[in-house]
Amino acid sequence: MRQSILTKEEKAYIAGFLDGDGSIFAQLVRRHDYKFGFQIRVSVVFFQKKENIWFLNRLQKDLQAGTVRVRNDNMAELSIIGHKSVEAFIKEFYPYLQLKKPIARTVLAIIMESRKVGNDSDRFLEVCKLVDKTAQLTYSKKRTITSAIVQEYLKKHDSIIESL
């Protein structure tokens, strides 16, 4: 993990910026090559209009994490994706967050619990239920893949998974 080069004030600013306009979330993504058929993806995303992409590029350097891209709707975003990177980010910024403390806590729990899943599909399903919970915290309305979908998939494939 990187050594933090940010001062407390810089961290507080970034936490405020994230609370204002950023997003911390977890989602289930269908992945045929994954053991349980789904990936638990965790992300921290900062948004800005394209004109201010310099700001996201600087933030990416400061954080030494994430990728900056311009989206089709002409917004720019810096996304930090992946369990290790998001864990490091949340651990560093949690003390400074105000509005997004609950979602940060839940996403961190998802990351921790994911590590203990091993080959246990019930345990995997429990983590998926935590992911469902984040949809409420982030007021997400367009979730298509929920733990119920995963459960149905696992019912069908459990015997195959167990034989692996």
Give residue for tokens 């995303």: 45
Measured at the CA of 45, the angle between CA 127 and CA 47, to 5 degrees, comes to 150
CB of 143 to its own copies, least distance (A): 18
CB-CB contact of 55 with 48 (8 Å)? yes
Per CB under 8 A, contacts with its own copies among 97-136 are 98-99
Among 22, 78, 114, 147, binds its own copies (CB under 8 A): 22
Three-state SS for 147? Answer: helix
Give residue for tokens 């203990």: 116
Of 16-24, 106-114, 127-135, 141-149: span binding its own copies (CB under 8 A): 16-24
Q: Does 94 bind its own copies (CB under 8 A)?
A: no
Among 15, 26, 28, 40, binds its own copies (CB under 8 A): 15
| 21 labelled catalytic | yes
How many CB atoms neighbour CB 83 within 10 A? 16
Three-state SS for 146? Answer: coil
Selected catalytic residue, list 21, 120, 122, 158: 21
| 20 labelled catalytic | yes
Residue 22 or 37: the one with the smaller Cβ distance to its own copies is 22
Rg of the chain's alpha carbons, rounded to an integer? 17
Catalytic residues: 20-21
- Contact residues toward its own copies (CB under 8 A) are 8-10, 12-22, 48-49, 52, 55, 96, 98-99, 139
